[in-house]
Structure 1
Amino acid sequence: MAHILVASSPFAGHVRPTLAVAEALLLRGHRVTAYTGRRYARDFEALGCRILPWQAATDYDERNLAASFPQLPSTGRRAVFANLEHVFIGNAPGQLDDLRRAHAARPFDILVGEQMMLGAGMLAELQSLPWASLSVLPLSLPSRNLPPSGLGLQPLPGALGHARDALLRRVTRRVMRPLDAALAEVRKQAGLPEHQLFEQAGFSTQLTIAHGAPGIEFPRPDLPGYVHYAGLLARPIVHAGPEPDWLREVRSFKGPVVLVTQGTLNTDPQELLQPALDALRDEDLLVVASSAGRSVQRIPPNARVHEFLPFGDLLPMASCAVTNGGWGGVLQMAAAGVPMVVAGGTLDKPEVAARVACAGLGLDLRTGTPTPRKILRAVRSILAEPGFRTRTAAVGDQLHRLGGAPRAAELIESLAPGASPRVP
């Protein structure tokens, strides 16, 4: 059996699919070393992974990046670019140092890293190691058929649409030059060729495993052959222990059930949770919402608010979901056939919202801070139009058929020397 490194940035949305792949590799008999931040190391250790701690790399807590990176702006597009430069590109040399030392002590047979773990790809280049990347976000590889990633735009059809997207790609290339320059300097210091575009750096041309399915992604006629969709990698959590009263109440409710979640990162309830509760307070339905531990001021009689929600129990009962557009949560909703209202405001969330709307799985509110009126109209539209659920169920079937984490593990095994040819 192989010794496989599995590496993930310490963000919940990156860790969960990576954790699922690590578990699938362990179940197939491989030795797995996990390289991630302190906050999530125990999750990998509980599976049976050996833990490689971040030492030369700067560890951080996703809930307070400024504590480790005080130079980061707090909000706006500048904050996004600063995050990419300092948290991901700037941390790659430390990751490479950690991984080099570990490889020298106990050599790895295969490297697996989610797309923002640039140090893993650099080690693969330097040591000529097999390397698989996990695309744990909406697939952001550049394409001649799509607008550039990050703008939250759907592709436009026809000559005018192609011209618009081509122009946007040229403009975005110029905007990305500072990140390309920062990456070039990091690669130069590591002894690697300097010319590599940041938007391609985290994707292995040996094997990229995409968390998702073609049905929820934009059409890509030029999808590279090394990209394989694996469906839903991380399964939703179910409640452990005796079923609580509130969950039994939801199960027995006869009308529509609407889930509301704002994810785990940007959890200010005034952005989405409170407006959604206000919007739906007079509707003949039951709202079940996650507070992520934040205080909620106004909870109407038709709402049940809890710190965290066991999606595995709730999604089969849901008629609709209101979400901020976390990719993992959206894939879980799609897998359960639950149509969505998406309020994607920052980071990759607008990209997620655009994909949901393009695929006909729900509505894109085009903002991360929607008004109650806008939310109400969207939820009513979803509940009134059965086509949303039909289309979402079809994508859900596709997500399940693609095989999930076991299929990802099978693909990773194909990189081992002497392995059988990869089955498409």
Structure 2
Amino acid sequence: MVGWTMVEVMIAVMPFHGHVAPLAAVAEAFLTAGHGVRVYTGAAHADRFATLGARVVTWESAPDFDEHNVPATFPELRGKKGPRQMLTNVEQLFVRTGADQAADLTRAYAEQAWDVIVADGLSMGARFASELTDTPWVTVSIVPLAIPSRDLPPPILGLSPARGLAGRLRDSVLRAVTRAATRGIQRAYSEERERAGLPLRGFPLDQAFISPELVCASGVAELEYPRSDLATQVVFVGELTRPRASDAALPSWWPDAESSESPIVHVTQGTLNVDPHDLIEPAFAALGRQRVLLVAATGRADDAGLPFPAPPNARVAGFIPYDALLPRLDVMITNGGWGGVLAALARGIPLIVAGGDLDKPEIAARVAWAGAGVNLRTGRPRPRAILAAWRRVTADDSYRANAKRLAESLGGHDGPREVVEHTMALLARRRAPEPGG
């Protein structure tokens, strides 16, 4: 971009593996383009960004935590699943840390000013820091858009768009119910704004995680429900992380995958809620007698063992490099992490999605709506539901055809590079003189 040779960028990342991976790709793209990059995240992920060449600012005023034991820092989350977990998670972890995140960020700004803050879409601290420093803020949405719409049900329920008058009435009622259910979050947001020294009449809660100038949304328009009121600052950028040649060791059983004459079905528990009883165990029960090779990832590199026996046709590891695995897959059974879902769809792999909590029911619903997979409508499916879904996906060619259609659309993007380009265009617009000025 003419006139911008180098800028100083602050990237704010919530300290979860699923957030760190896409924002690390964005940080690398800014560094490759020659810009100065600092990253604000948890201490556990500092090395990931330092290795890229970024300078790291860790959570200090904000309560840093272990993503594998979040209740140790936020005890309010203990024992909660489903919608209750989502509401408590948003309030305690994302909203009530906002003022403390902003304190960390504004100290970093005082030490060296940034030109723009590029943030994980769930970083409340970035919103507050942008207001406090009067600097531009770019949202990078690493999950499906959660922007409310008059045309859609509330974005936390995993429901597809309504059809007809009765459906629209349903969505209207649900929007009212959701407003009531989220009063605690709204109260927390007001209290955090006050703690941060910001006016209470600032941006309302439904705009709190959305930059008013630029939202770079991972995914493609074909995975977004049609709506008449989509914010004009939203741009779709495709995948933010793409599997590439990895130095990670392949499991000792990998030759079985390379030589398998049976279709390979991958079962992934994700990296956050990793109880193998939720999805891996019923998937083994469903497909343990079928002519497939089951390849399961527990999401724990430090503990790949299972508390139950694996069937003879199953192979298990903590993590498996996707650059090696994905080209061999026939079907993926997933808990619905957005990064893994996009990785599979970008290679035309149909999905079976068991989305149980947080954003995952919404992801499962979108995959089914796009015709690229089956939504099991629970995070703890029964074996017979998984078996029926697998039979549907393998017997009906439309699932694979729709996955390939989405792969073509995703293949037209270079997400990290596009985030850099859109950010630089925003800064150029801000620099441009007013007409007639």
Task: Select which of 78, 81, 84 maps to 2:84.
Answer: 78
Alpha-carbon shift at residue 127 of structure 1 (Å): 2.1
Answer yes or no: is 1:172 the counterpart of 2:182. no
Alpha-carbon shift at residue 420 of structure 1 (Å): 8.8
Measure the CA separation in 2 of the matches of 1:147 and 1:87.
24
Instruction: Check whether the contact 2:347–2:404 (CA below 8 A) recurs between aligned residues.
Output: yes
Q: What's the counterpart of residue 360 of structure 1?
A: 371
Instruction: Report the CA distance shift for 1:199/1:392 in structure 2 as closer, same or farther (over 3 A).
Output: same
Measure the CA separation in 1 of the matches of 2:42 and 2:252.
36
Alpha-carbon shift at residue 84 of structure 1 (Å): 1.6
Answer yes or no: is 1:255 the counterpart of 2:248. no
Alpha-carbon shift at residue 221 of structure 1 (Å): 2.9
Q: What's the counterpart of residue 67 of structure 1?
A: 72
Higher alpha-carbon deviation: 289-298 or 154-163:
289-298
Task: Select which of 311, 330, 338 maps to 1:327.
Answer: 338
Computed over aligned residues only, the root mean square deviation of the Cα atoms, in angstroms, reads: 1.8
Measure the CA separation in 2 of the matches of 1:241 and 1:8.
24
Amino acid in the other structure paired with 1:295: G
Measure the CA separation in 1 of the matches of 2:19 and 2:376.
25
Q: What's the counterpart of residue 435 of structure 2?
A: none
Alpha-carbon shift at residue 189 of structure 1 (Å): 3.1
Structure 1 gaps of 5+ residues are: none
Q: Identical aligned pairs, as a percentage? A: 42
Measure the CA separation in 2 of the matches of 1:371 and 1:71.
29
Higher alpha-carbon deviation: 297-306 or 223-232:
297-306
Measure the CA separation in 1 of the matches of 2:107 and 2:298.
42
Amino acid in the other structure paired with 1:233: L
Answer yes or no: is 1:115 the counterpart of 2:124. no
Q: What's the counterpart of residue 34 of structure 1?
A: 39
Task: Select which of 214, 224, 244 maps to 1:217.
Answer: 224
Structure 1 counterpart SS, 2:427: coil
Q: What's the counterpart of residue 295 of structure 1?
A: 305
Q: What's the counterpart of residue 247 of structure 2?
A: 240
Q: What's the counterpart of residue 344 of structure 1?
A: 355
Answer yes or no: is 1:313 the counterpart of 2:324. yes
Task: Select which of 244, 252, 265 maps to 2:272.
Answer: 265
1:44-55 matched pairs, under 5 angstroms: 44-55=49-60
Measure the CA separation in 2 of the matches of 1:66 and 1:349.
20
Instruction: Report the CA distance shift for 1:243/1:125 in structure 2 as closer, same or farther (over 3 A).
Output: closer
When normalised by structure 1's length, the TM-score is: 0.95
Structure 1 counterpart SS, 2:199: coil
Structure 2 gaps of 5+ residues are: 1-5, 433-437
Structure 1 counterpart SS, 2:22: helix
Measure the CA separation in 1 of the matches of 2:246 and 2:265.
18
Higher alpha-carbon deviation: 376-385 or 174-183:
174-183
Answer yes or no: is 1:191 the counterpart of 2:197. yes
Deviations 1:88-116 (A, max 9, x none): 11111111111111111100000011111
Alpha-carbon shift at residue 204 of structure 1 (Å): 0.1
Alpha-carbon shift at residue 418 of structure 1 (Å): 5.9
Deviations 1:321-361 (A, max 9, x none): 11111111111111111000011111111111101111101
Amino acid in the other structure paired with 1:59: D
Alpha-carbon shift at residue 291 of structure 1 (Å): 2.2
Alpha-carbon shift at residue 61 of structure 1 (Å): 1.1
1:396-407 matched pairs, under 5 angstroms: 396-407=407-418
Alpha-carbon shift at residue 26 of structure 1 (Å): 0.5
Instruction: Report the CA distance shift for 1:244/1:117 in structure 2 as closer, same or farther (over 3 A).
Output: closer
Alpha-carbon shift at residue 14 of structure 1 (Å): 1.2
Instruction: Check whether the contact 1:216–1:356 (CA below 8 A) recurs between aligned residues.
Output: yes
Measure the CA separation in 1 of the matches of 2:318 and 2:250.
16
Measure the CA separation in 1 of the matches of 2:248 and 2:142.
30
1:370-389 matched pairs, under 5 angstroms: 370-389=381-400
Alpha-carbon shift at residue 242 of structure 1 (Å): 7.4
Instruction: Report the CA distance shift for 1:29/1:243 in structure 2 as closer, same or farther (over 3 A).
Output: same
Alpha-carbon shift at residue 67 of structure 1 (Å): 1.9
Measure the CA separation in 2 of the matches of 1:390 and 1:135.
27
Measure the CA separation in 2 of the matches of 1:102 and 1:180.
28
Amino acid in the other structure paired with 2:368: A
Measure the CA separation in 2 of the matches of 1:89 and 1:151.
19
Alpha-carbon shift at residue 241 of structure 1 (Å): 6.5
Instruction: Check whether the contact 2:251–2:320 (CA below 8 A) recurs between aligned residues.
Output: no
Alpha-carbon shift at residue 239 of structure 1 (Å): 4.1
Deviations 1:369-416 (A, max 9, x none): 111111111111111111111101111111121321111111112232
Measure the CA separation in 2 of the matches of 1:269 and 1:73.
18
Structure 1 counterpart SS, 2:216: strand
Higher alpha-carbon deviation: 125-134 or 231-240:
231-240
Alpha-carbon shift at residue 237 of structure 1 (Å): 5.4
When normalised by structure 2's length, the TM-score is: 0.92
Structure 1 counterpart SS, 2:215: strand
Structure 2 counterpart SS, 1:415: helix
Instruction: Report the CA distance shift for 1:71/1:242 in structure 2 as closer, same or farther (over 3 A).
Output: closer
Structure 2 counterpart SS, 1:96: helix
Alpha-carbon shift at residue 154 of structure 1 (Å): 0.7
Measure the CA separation in 2 of the matches of 1:237 and 1:262.
21
Measure the CA separation in 1 of the matches of 2:148 and 2:42.
29
Measure the CA separation in 2 of the matches of 1:239 and 1:180.
43
Instruction: Report the CA distance shift for 1:184/1:366 in structure 2 as closer, same or farther (over 3 A).
Output: same
Deviations 1:135-163 (A, max 9, x none): 11111000111100111111122222222
